[in-house]
Structure 1
Amino acid sequence: MATCVVVGGSGFLGRALVQRLANNKEKWKRIVIFDIKKVEELENIQAVVFHQGDIRRQDDLVTAFKGASVVFHCATAAPSAENAKNKEIMHAVNVEGTWNVIEACKFCHVHSLLYVSSASVVFRGQDLDGVDESIDVPKCHVDFYTETKAVAERAVLDANSSQLHTCCLRPSGIFGEKDPLFVPTLVCNARKGKMKYYIGDGTNRMDWTFVDNVAYALELAADGLHQSSQRIGGQVYFITNDDPRPFWGFLGDILQGLGYSRPKKRLPFWLIYIFAWLFLWLSRLISPWIQLESDFTPFRVLLSVRNRRVSCEKAKRELGYKPIVSMEEGLQRTIEYFSYLRNQ
């Protein structure tokens, strides 16, 4: 029996992973949640221990990692409304925090480090039509958050050695129960009347991943590093539900399930894209005097109109991965969980 640490264990993915690991009582003697905040629902799970700390402080990580053989790094500073313009926070958590995790793993002689990256690290504004892990990660990224994830991913891969075995997973479009951003933001926009419209022709397809499938893939990758570190170490894997859906159609399914109207009015892509750039330039021009907060960015516009399909065949072949929750079940469970946001 072993000890593992889930960095960011109080977060959306972290909680799903902790609950999955806790179900495997024969394997994990101790599951340490390392996070800056507690989640009450996890405190009473047998074998789960909470360690409060800040990923930006290496000493906090070292204290939590002592005696651990596996570290799952799920923590991230996402581009939410509260830190969308705060590049300092995203760099400190996503990049410097990952450097701290790597050094703490080395200091504590951790055997395996698994990092949750993002499928977006290969996106530079182009269509992705079923690409695999052979695609290059671009040197220039279309937004700062994706850049920080790519830098962190590279650091984790470079840290792979005979002492510390590492690999990275690139999930695409994580969704599910207890998601703090995607569905609540979607509903908020629907209530403001913003979801009446879709951009482009509405045919672009995207791979989504139910959160439990990502947790399952992390567990498989940890097993793979333990059993065959030379084969799995230093590798990256796209993780999806292997069932791409039209981007606007999937948003419409969630909205309709919660009693809101689907997007029905088409807006021309190039017109909206130009407006997004004009708004960005204006916000930068007046930033010394007025701070404009908006999710209306050129990057968000590109995300909504491009095909973003990635292949998870490598994960199937090398990790034995296949989705354990279908898109239909995942969608239904998500809608049921967020029933409190239903349109009245």
Structure 2
Amino acid sequence: MSSESSYTPSLGKVVVVGGCGFLGSHIVNLLIERHPNTRVFVVDLRTNTNRNASANISYHDADITDYAALEPLFSQFRADAVIHTASPHFNAKKDILEKVNVGGTKTLLKVAQETGVKAFIYTSSSSIVLDPKTELHNADETWPLITGDAQPEYYSTTKAYAETAVLQANRTPANFLTCSIRPAGIFGEGDVQALPKMIGALRKGQTKFQVGDNNNLFEWTYVGNIAHGHLLAVQALLQTHKLLPTVPLDSEKVDGEAFNITNGQPVYFWDFARAVWHEAGDTVPLSGIWHLSWEFAFGVGAILEWLFWVLGKTPNLTRQQVRYSTITRYYSIDKAKKRLGYAPIVDLDEGIRRGVRHILEQEDRQKQKKGQ
């Protein structure tokens, strides 16, 4: 894919579903920056946060599980492409995850198919191939999906079911093209999960502890790189659409396919955490770190979960976090490189600087408000 095609002024009309969320807002901002003449429609349950002031963007409150509300909206848009990033938090209740991730995605597909959308890009998750025991070493898109009883995280099961529905909808009708983007370990400005928890641990003086021996490589991805991957997918599908009814060679095919998108820089889990803490001002030397065994931390996590469950709260250490911080989990992005022309645009160190700086600036603003 040429660099020229990467910066065309317009992609036509693009709907970003979940465009006021963490990833969605980054996609909207990059879309306007890179393709300034594109008409962007942001659809979210509530559109009062992370708004871009561009005149080419309009905001629309809507529930993606409500077909009766979506159909007239999409009929009005007459969009060329849909980027679907909306999803509840991974710890949401099962019925909410099922309703939004599976039901909402199927509703969006139906509406998009009926209103002439050409390209549909779904934000899936790299976790859909992760089980509690198998470590992922350079896992590619051919690895089997882990769902149902084999998948302890219901969030991942629903993301897998949604991705399957999206890819099965490809070329139904023949001019409706779909693909899926699988991010891994997303972080950056506006992140509400990874970086805030790490900075919270720093503020509580918990950086002296480490679970495991830190020999597990882990994949973290700066949010801007994931936004970049989505836009490349939009372009590729729209380009394929222009060539219909021709079907690309298997080695070039984007429609009906899933793509891992990462920074391509797997790092040892605690090295990433310590880079975040160092950027935020932590000065604890490596010699001062206490190493907790996996077994000990897992047992403590189980006890804390039970005690906090009685209190109706969530502890700082859970069994899930112990698994998360001690498992090897990294992915191959060769497919995205070859078929989308993908390469990370922000490296890991710069991504950490941007993400931590954003949090520190927010903290400073809050202090100033309190001091007024």
TM, length-normalised to structure 2: 0.83
- Which of residues 274, 279, 301 is equivalent to 1:252? 274
Give 1:147's aligned residue: 157
Distance in 2 (CA, whole Å) between partners of 1:4 and 1:124 is 35
Tell me, which stretches of 5 or more residues in structure 2 are unaligned?
1-9, 242-246, 248-252, 368-372
- Which of residues 10, 14, 21 is equivalent to 2:24? 14
Secondary structure, aligned partner of 1:38: coil
Contact in 2 for aligned 1:258/1:335 (Cα 8 Å): yes
Query: In the alignment, is residue 184 of structure 1 matched against residue 209 of structure 2?
Result: no
Contact in 1 for aligned 2:166/2:180 (Cα 8 Å): yes
Deviation string for 1:45-98 (max 9, x for gaps)? 12111111112212332233230110000111113xxxx352222222222111
Give 2:79's aligned residue: 68
Deviation at 1:227, TM superposition (A): 1.8
Deviation string for 1:280-307 (max 9, x for gaps)? 56777x6xxx634346443332111011
The amino acid across from 1:268 in the alignment is S
Moved over 6 A (4+): 281-284
Distance in 2 (CA, whole Å) between partners of 1:26 and 1:85 is 36
Give 2:128's aligned residue: 121
Give 2:350's aligned residue: 329
The amino acid across from 1:103 in the alignment is K
Give 2:102's aligned residue: 95
**Change in CA separation of 1:334 and 1:200 when aligned onto 2, cut-off 3 Å:** same
**Change in CA separation of 1:43 and 1:202 when aligned onto 2, cut-off 3 Å:** closer
The amino acid across from 1:100 in the alignment is T
Deviates more, 1:274-283 or 1:131-140: 274-283
Secondary structure, aligned partner of 2:264: coil
Secondary structure, aligned partner of 1:198: strand
Contact in 2 for aligned 1:142/1:299 (Cα 8 Å): no
Distance in 2 (CA, whole Å) between partners of 1:41 and 1:148 is 26
Secondary structure, aligned partner of 1:10: coil
Deviates more, 1:17-26 or 1:159-168: 17-26
Query: In the alignment, is residue 54 of structure 1 matched against residue 63 of structure 2?
Result: yes
Larger Rg: 2
Deviation at 1:277, TM superposition (A): 4.2
Distance in 2 (CA, whole Å) between partners of 1:315 and 1:122 is 17
Tell me, which stretches of 5 or more residues in structure 1 are unaligned?
none
Distance in 2 (CA, whole Å) between partners of 1:307 and 1:164 is 37
Deviation at 1:177, TM superposition (A): 1.2
Distance in 1 (CA, whole Å) between partners of 2:16 and 2:291 is 43
Distance in 2 (CA, whole Å) between partners of 1:299 and 1:175 is 18
The amino acid across from 1:269 in the alignment is W
Secondary structure, aligned partner of 1:23: helix
- Which of residues 306, 310, 328 is equivalent to 2:331? 310
Give 1:165's aligned residue: 177
Contact in 1 for aligned 2:308/2:315 (Cα 8 Å): no
Secondary structure, aligned partner of 2:51: helix
Alignment of 1:244-323 (within 5 A): 244-260=266-282, 264-277=289-302, 291-294=312-315, 296-323=317-344
Distance in 2 (CA, whole Å) between partners of 1:40 and 1:274 is 40
Distance in 2 (CA, whole Å) between partners of 1:295 and 1:253 is 20
Distance in 2 (CA, whole Å) between partners of 1:163 and 1:178 is 36
Alignment of 1:35-54 (within 5 A): 35-39=44-48, 42-54=51-63
Query: In the alignment, is residue 5 of structure 1 matched against residue 15 of structure 2?
Result: yes
- Which of residues 78, 94, 110 is equivalent to 2:89? 78
Q: CA RMSD in A?
A: 2.3
Distance in 1 (CA, whole Å) between partners of 2:160 and 2:258 is 12
Contact in 2 for aligned 1:316/1:322 (Cα 8 Å): yes
Deviation at 1:43, TM superposition (A): 4.3
Length, aligned pairs only? 334
Deviation string for 1:4-59 (max 9, x for gaps)? 1000000111111111111244652x100001222466342121111111122123
Identity %: 31
Contact in 1 for aligned 2:121/2:179 (Cα 8 Å): yes
Give 2:119's aligned residue: 112
**Change in CA separation of 1:297 and 1:149 when aligned onto 2, cut-off 3 Å:** farther
TM, length-normalised to structure 1: 0.89
**Change in CA separation of 1:282 and 1:337 when aligned onto 2, cut-off 3 Å:** closer
